[in-house]
Amino acid sequence: MNHPFIIPNEDKNVRLVEKRRGLLMIYTLPCPKDFPDISFISKGVGYYRLGYKIYYQENMSQAINRAYWILKNRVMLDLAYWKKKKINEKIQKLEYRQAKLF
């Protein structure tokens, strides 16, 4: 993209789309195929994608940077909560099996 802003990870997992009143930042990360909020599967790999609307304002560089960190944190947090839930379920099953043995 040809613009005056520095966008972290642009063309890797971040994309900007120009909209009528601002920009739409899209952040995409790979995820397991059984992730409940999976956005799409490509070449056998699951991906989770979120977008964030950035309205035109005085300091667009700051707004873009803020949007990037909001999206990155949200996507990673969603994936981490899901992984935590899966691990907790596994622990509960193991505890249940352990309790049945004694």
The string of pLDDT tens digits covering residues 84-95 is 999 999 999 999
List the chain domain ranges.
14-101
pLDDT at 1 over 60: no
What values do phi and psi take at 59, rounded to 5? Answer: -110, 85
Mean per-residue pLDDT, 8-12: 76
pLDDT of residue 11: 75
Residue bearing the bigger pLDDT, 40 or 11: 40
Give Cα 37 to chain centroid, integer Å. 10
What residue type is 13 in one-letter code? N
Q: Which residues are registered as beta bridge partners of 28?
A: 49
Q: Is residue 2 over pLDDT 70?
A: no
Interval 47-79: pLDDT, tens: 999 999 999 999 999 999 999 999 999 999 999
Per-residue model confidence (pLDDT) at position 97: 93
pTM value is 0.82
Kindly list the distances between the CA atom of residue 91 and the CA atoms of 42, 44, 78, 80, 84, in Å, as whole numbers in the listed order.
Answer: 31, 29, 20, 16, 10
Q: How many helices (H) and strands (E) does the chain have?
A: 1, 4
Write down the pLDDT at residue 4.
67
55: region left, alpha or beta (phi > 0 left; psi from -120 to 50 alpha): beta
